[in-house]
Structure 1
Amino acid sequence: MADLQAASTVPASLRVHQFHGLQPGPRLIVLGAVHGNETCGTQAIEALLPELDSGRLTIQRGCLTLVPVANPLAFARGTRQGDRNLNRRLRPEPEPREFEDRVANVLCPLLAAHEVLLDLHSFHTPGEPFAMLGPEDNTGSLEPFTYAACESAWAAHLGPRRFVEGWLDTYAAGVAERRARAALDGALPAVVQDAQYGVGTTEYMRSVGGYGITLECGLHGDPHGAAVGLHAIRQTLAWLGMADLPLVPPVGDPDVMRLVQVTDRLHPDDRLAAPWRGFDPVRAGQPIGWRHDGQAVCAPEDGWVVFPNPEAEVGQEWFYFARRSPRRLG
């Protein structure tokens, strides 16, 4: 009986809303709560649904798919993940073992059926909203891509003035460092040594021929985050020409940064050197964190601290380091 009760508390489905215009157009999918404690996307989608249901907003061209809660188990628990991080190593699993594997087996075909993805997130420490861009066009083996101009032009209309690139290649370099550590002590599970562990929703979307942006709407629980997400959805519909909505001008003087290094937390007593906010500037040689044995982890050059997480699990991302990017939007 206890096992039956436990099973009944695990969600068995994803709630998906779909709106088809009667004229041809792009296929857009919007996700909320890929991480269960990041609820701004859920709130933004739930705010949009009454407009669509009442006819105050009409999808006239293409197809809009809304998934308010992409990870219902983590969302129900109010945690980042259920059994594992859905936004890492995202791919279909022929033999699903964890809850997120079963979600991936539904979510990945859903993503592949669309052309454009807007994924709404929030972050750990205070800071202003920003958008995560994919790579520039390339034919490399890690993340080949041909829609950089589309992503760039679209991103400029979403609202934030700050943009970040370099996710997957920086994460791949971090995986290489994990492998080197594991070769010495064998302490890290094999999954976080997987070269594809950094593949999340937008990376998967690009791998199946589409393009996408992760929009970080603000601090977890910030009541303004939902408004940031809702504005971004409406501007995406306007930019794609799916609904008759006014398109705001592109952001002026965008601030584009490139991730170049990820640092993992290696011990429970590792601590950050300051209560960092996202994109706090640091100087070359300045301590960003302290290892449990007193060793400083210093900035390799002048740059910025990104995604600082004082509560990171051992073996997981503790903070990223970024430098200014020469990339231009438009």
Structure 2
Amino acid sequence: MSAQTNNHAYPIEVEFPDISVHRHAASGIDYLHTFDSGLPGPHVMINALTHGNEVCGAIVVDELLRRELRPRRGRLTLGFANVAAYLSFDPAKPDAARFVDQDFNRVWTDTVLDDTSRTSSELTRARAMRPLIDTVDALLDLHSMHEKSAPLIVAGPLQKGIDLAARLGTPATVICDEGHPEGRRMRDYEGFGRESSPKNALLIECGQHWEKSAVSVARDTTARFLLLAGVVDEADLPEGWLAPLPPTQHIVRVTQPVVATSMDFRFAAPFTGLEIFPDAGTVIGWSNGEAVTTPYDNCMLVMPSLRQLRPGVTVVRLGKVEQTRSNLS
């Protein structure tokens, strides 16, 4: 089966799990399952389905729930976020299942969540999840990408996020950024987004939405995150989830987003992400008939896509490689 998208038809290489069996949870919040070891340790959360068509995280969380993984120390939450969007998935319109009313990953500020005059399917779900999210110390948010691109870590703008990504060791590209003009992501919510807070979060873009390799990346990064947090031992994890570390990690600082001001935007080539342009002034696309160019030498394109094109949406982010670190030391 292939999913029909605006630009490409990507094959659906994975089965979408039936997560309805996970609806009722002792946490009192549907689809959020928290297990307490009774011993000291952090509260760690593995989150799937921030976007409803990003299935690799759902596969991993479903597997861990069915295997009855329990923490040896601290607390562990395994959860599915935008379930309503996931349940709406249609292979003929796969991009539509990203959200129901608005992007779930653009609502995470107290101001937005406290404003009861604003309503949407996503806000209702975020407000339901919020009391639990407020207790999480370490969040791993599993995502995937519109286009077939190498996996990457979104570490946020703070040094603590970069340091956590380096300790995780994989994927090979670490993106440091301020987020999106449209609104704040869950990984930047409250303590996750304050350098002074001990809380921390990473977002993993595991690959193209429906490719098998994205599931492998989600399994590997989840296993490593749980081990790094100390809530489980390696013997507790499913066999074969850990993969070899990449030899190096590239730390890339996003300097600016390219935001569509209308529906008149096109790229100069079928970019999929992580392309590097050696010369400043290289044309990468056109917006309202005017050239969009790279602002500096060795500019990297981060997650270019027109699948959600509309005014105000970021169509690509531009980044500089700040550091390359070795995993072999």
| CA displacement, residues 293-321 of structure 1 (integer Å, 9 cap, x when unaligned) | 3x211111221111111222222111111
Matched, 1:154 2:172: no
Equivalence for 2:120: 98
Q: SS at the partner of 2:98?
A: coil
Q: Which residue of the other structure, out of 269, 281, 290, is the alignment partner of 1:274?
A: 269
After superposition, give the CA deviation of every residue in 1:247-278 in whole Å (9 maximum; x if it has no partner).
Answer: 88865321111111111122223211110011
Counterpart CA distance in 1 for 2:177 and 2:86 is 28
Q: CA deviation at 1:81?
A: 1.3
State the Cα deviation string for residues 178-202 of structure 1 (Å, max 9, x = none). Answer: xxxxxxxxxxxxxx4xxxx2x1111
Give the length in aligned residue pairs: 277
Question: Which residue of 286, 310, 314 maps to 2:311?
Answer: 314
* Cα distance in 1 for residues equivalent to 2:123 and 2:50: 13
Partner of 2:58: 42
TM score, norm. by length of structure 1: 0.77
1:84 equivalent in structure 2? 102
CA distances 1:8-52 after superposition (whole Å, capped 9, x unpaired): xxx99631122222322111011111011111111111122222x
1:163 partner amino acid: V
Deviation at 1:327, TM superposition (A): 7.6
Provide the residue aligned with 1:206 in structure 2. 192
Corresponding residue for residue 325 of structure 1:
322
| TM superposition shift of 1:207 | 4.3
Distance 1:103 1:286, change over 3 A: same
Give the Å deviation of 1:245: 0.7
User: For the residues of structure 1 that align with 2:315 and 2:162, how far apart are their CA atoms?
Assistant: 31
Instruction: State how far apart, in whole Å, the 2-side matches of 1:113 and 1:129 are.
Output: 28
- Specify the alignment match of 1:27 in structure 2: 43
2:295 is matched with 300
- State the structure with bigger RCO (CA 8 A, min sep 6), 1 or 2: 1
* Alignment RMSD (CA, Å): 2.5
Mark the CA change 1:243 to 1:329 in structure 2 (over 3 Å): closer, same or farther.
same
Instruction: Report the 3-state secondary structure (helix = DSSP H, G, I; strand = E; otherwise coil) of the residue aligned with 1:319.
Output: strand
**One-letter code of the match for 2:139?**
L
Are residues 1:225 and 2:205 paired?
no
Alpha-carbon deviation of 1:161?
Answer: 1.3
Q: Which piece of structure 1 moves more, 249-258 or 115-124? A: 249-258
| Mapped partners of 2:254, 2:83: distance in 1 | 30
Letter in 2 for 1:321: L
Q: Where do 5+ consecutive residues of structure 1 fail to align?
A: 1-10, 138-146, 176-191
Question: SS of 1:257's equivalent?
Answer: strand
Aligned partner of 1:6 in structure 2 is none
Question: How many Å separate the matches in 2 of 1:321 and 1:153?
Answer: 21
Change (3 A) 1:285 1:153: closer
Structure 1 residues 110 and 314, CA gap change in structure 2 (3 angstroms): same
Matched, 1:115 2:137: yes
Structure 1 residues 259 and 207, CA gap change in structure 2 (3 angstroms) = closer
CA distance in 2, matches of 1:62, 1:242: 6
TM score, norm. by length of structure 2: 0.77
CA distance in 1, matches of 2:50, 2:223: 20
The CA distance in 2 between the partners of 1:135 and 1:266, in whole Å, is 25
- Mapped contact 2:256–2:318 kept (Cα < 8 A): yes
1:58 to partner: Cα distance:
4.1
1 CA distance for matches of 2:130 and 2:282? 41
- Contact kept, 8 Å, 2:272 with 2:305, in 1: the verdict is no
Note the residue ranges of structure 2 that are not aligned, 5 or more in a row: 1-22, 90-96, 236-241
Aligned match of 1:164 in 175, 192, 199? 175
Distance in 1 (CA, whole Å) between partners of 2:145 and 2:244 is 26
Question: Distance in 2 between the 1:115 and 1:74 partners?
Answer: 26
- 2:71 matched to 1:59? yes
Report if aligned partners of 2:248, 2:326 keep a CA contact under 8 Å in 1: no
